[in-house]
Amino acid sequence: MVIKIVTDSTADLPEGLAEKLGVTVVAEYLRFGDEVLRDHIDINEDEFYRRLVNDPIHPSTMQPAPEDFAEAFRKVSREADGIVALTLSSKLSGTYNAAVSGKAAANVTCPITVIDTFSVTMGLGELVIAASELAKAGKTMAEIETAIKDMIPKIIVLGLVDTLKYLALGGRIGKVQALLGSMLNVKPMLAVKDGVLVPSGRVRSRAKGVDILIEHAKQAVNIQDLTVIHNTTPDEAQA
């Protein structure tokens, strides 16, 4: 039995990994005014962050259309006995609903299950990797779905950001928190809890924030996998 895995581009899988795993990635959209770009296809991360800082137009994001998922499901179904789709948190985006609608619109005989992971970035990515490994191990759709849903509450995503400005502009957090963060001149720490971004602390320096992230990892038990996520600091992430 061949089970194929589908996800969206917010999984932030390292370059080449999705292809290596045989995972199909449906692109989210980035909009700069009237210009609409497909995430990781029409624009890469370095260009996005350059424009985020320098472009006078602040970007917005749009979830894939149901037809984007339907097209992916149709293509994948040609060589699959079943499809498991994993999306970022439905509390952060309409992507999950788009995937569910795309499942109905695909009109294929191949069974499809769509899972809301209540996570984002490599929290979602780790679940995608796990689902792919389970599929390669010959697990059934039901077994994969059960295993992934069991993993979801065990996924921990912690982050340190220099500023809340861009998250506030993007509507991901309240503007009050962003204002307080800037007034106090602190580095905000965030976590994903129950599918949403929540504050997990404030530190006076980036170095102190990194120390706290490392301490969290030290205190964790039975770590199955760990990922260091970064935006524009590959050397720091490697260190």
Cα–Cα nearest to 226, from 128, 131, 155: 155
Per residue in 175-190, pLDDT (tens digit) is 546 555 565 678 888 8
Whether residue 171 is predicted with pLDDT greater than 70 in this model: the reply is no
Residues 101 and 190 in one domain: no
Q: Distance between CA atoms of 134 and 140, rounded to whole angstroms? A: 8
Cα–Cα nearest to 10, from 87, 99, 118: 87
Residues 124 and 192 in one domain: no
Residues 182 and 144 in one domain: no
With cut-offs at 50, 70 and 90, classify the pLDDT of residue 168.
confident
Residues 79 and 120 in one domain: yes
In 67-214, the DSSP E strands lie at: 82-87, 112-116, 158-160, 187-193, 196-203
Q: Quick one: angle between helices 121-136 and 141-151, nearest 10?
A: 150
Whether residue 221 is predicted with pLDDT greater than 90 in this model: the reply is no
Whether residue 198 is predicted with pLDDT greater than 90 in this model: the reply is no
Residues 149 and 218 in one domain: no
Residue 48 lies in a domain: no
- For residue 167, give the CATH number of its domain: 3.30.1180.10
Helix (H) / strand (E) element for 175: namely helix 175-183
- pTM exceeds 0.85, yes or no: yes
At 35 the three-state DSSP class reads strand
Residues of the domain holding 224: 158-238
For residue 184, what is the DSSP state?
A: T
For all residues of the chain together, what is the average pLDDT?
91
Residues 106 and 212 in one domain: no
Residues 174 and 83 in one domain: no
Residue 187 lies in a domain: yes
With cut-offs at 50, 70 and 90, classify the pLDDT of residue 174.
low
Residues 74 and 175 in one domain: no
Q: Final residue of a domain: which of 136, 153, 170?
A: 153
Per residue in 39-95, pLDDT (tens digit) is 989 998 889 989 988 889 889 889 999 999 999 999 999 999 999 999 999 999 999
Residues 72 and 149 in one domain: yes
Residue 119 lies in a domain: yes
Residue 74 lies in a domain: yes
With cut-offs at 50, 70 and 90, classify the pLDDT of residue 166.
confident
pLDDT reported for residue 6: 98
With cut-offs at 50, 70 and 90, classify the pLDDT of residue 105.
very high
pLDDT reported for residue 17: 96
Write the Ramachandran bin of 234: left for phi over 0, alpha for psi from -120 to 50, otherwise beta: alpha
Amino acid at site 35: E
Residue 58 lies in a domain: no
Residues 166 and 146 in one domain: no
Residue 190 lies in a domain: yes
Q: Distance between CA atoms of 197 and 203, rounded to whole angstroms? A: 17
**How many structural domains does the chain have?**
2
